[in-house]
Amino acid sequence: MILGALDKMGISKADITRKHTSAFDEFHVRGKLVSEELFSQIELNKDSMVLDLGCGLGGTCRMLAEKYDCIVHGIDYSDQHIETANSLSELIGLDNLTLFKQGNATKLPYPSEQFDLIITQHVQMCITNKEKFYSEVKRVLKKGGRFIYYDVLKKSDNSQNYPLPWVDDKTNNHLINSDQLKDLLHSLNFRRISSQDQTQKGVDFLSSFLAKAEDKPAILTGQKILMGENAFDKITNLYQALKGGVVGLESGTYQLGIRN
């Protein structure tokens, strides 16, 4: 679908670059804009090891690999996502720096203390065992390494409309609030460096995106690959939940302490 959309835009397969695919391959609210914003201040080099936990189609992985010339691993529960991520990296010549595999976020297929940076963007909402999830982040992160998240968090007990981008019904919707996330990370010896409420930026972005999608449905190509044909409905329900204060968007940077 992504290649078809680019072809309709007059971009041949031989000419495709990361700038072309980045319009489709970042699943989270605000897409490549927020990724560039979140990782603009980090210090990485060609020897850095990075893990994108819940990488989707691998857009953020390719952005970091291209910018820093470092190895970036991506893991996702979906075989289809991983297959597409590998194909896109090969197509634009970043398959030597990005390594994607299917796996379980609560049982990561990596040795302990392997990564300098771990990132998650809109991942934990479907995971029941939060402690196990963040304990795995801690296990595979080097001491002194950094963890950056950008997530959807619960803000009230008001009901939500379904489906949502990450879930079709309330059965598998496992949101926590900002204080719960902070307390859990602190209990695992993570030290908060910074955090930011991203809700209003998300509301503004989705309002504009949905208006454009009504006029030009093709911009939903990447979202439909990840969310299915009802992507528009899912994004609309998230927009309403954000605007109504039911959920919020938050980003944060934490550093793993040296003590055990």
Q: Does residue 205 sit within a domain?
A: yes
Residue 211 has pLDDT above 60, yes or no: yes
Task: Supply the pTM of this predicted model.
Answer: 0.91
259: in domain? no
Q: Are residues 206 and 188 in the same domain?
A: no
| Whether 223 and 186 share a structural domain | no
CATH classification of the domain holding 98:
3.40.50.150
Residue 69, CA distances (Å) to 45, 64, 66, 93, 100 in order: 7, 8, 5, 12, 16
Q: In this predicted structure, what is the pLDDT of residue 260? A: 43
Q: Are strands 247-256 and 141-154 parallel, antiparallel or unpaired?
A: antiparallel
Q: Answer yes or no: do 230 and 145 share one domain.
A: no
Same domain, 103 and 188: yes
Average pLDDT over residues 252-259: 87
pLDDT at 217: 81
Question: Based on the domain organization, do 238 and 138 belong to the same domain?
Answer: no
Which residue's structure tokens are 């289809």? 80
Do both 223 and 111 map to the same domain?
Answer: no
pLDDT surpassing 90 at residue 23: no
- Asked whether residue 184 is assigned to any structural domain, the reply reads yes
3-state secondary structure of 29: coil
The predicted-structure confidence for 35-79, as pLDDT tens digits, reads as follows 888 888 788 999 999 999 999 889 999 999 999 999 999 999 999
190 falls within a domain: yes
Q: Which domain holds residue 208?
A: 197-245
Encoded tokens for 50: 């990075």
Same-domain check for residues 35 and 124: yes
Q: Which letter does DSSP use for residue 9 in this model?
A: T
Domain-embedded: residue 12: no
- The answer to whether residue 132 sits within a structural domain is yes
Tell whether 254 is covered by a domain.
no
Q: Are residues 107 and 178 in the same domain?
A: yes
- In this predicted structure, the answer to whether residue 5 has a pLDDT above a threshold of 70 is no
Same domain, 221 and 184: no
pLDDT for res 198: 96
**Other CB atoms closer than 10 Å to residue 51's CB: what's the count?**
26
pLDDT on residue 32: 83
Distance from C-alpha of 243 to C-alpha of 239, rounded to nearest angstrom: 6
Total count of domains within the chain = 2
CA distance 132 to 129: 5
Shared domain check, 217 and 185? no
- Give alpha helix (H) positions in the chain: 2-8, 18-21, 31-38, 59-68, 79-91, 130-140, 178-187, 199-215, 221-227, 231-243
Whether residues 150 and 34 fall in one domain: yes
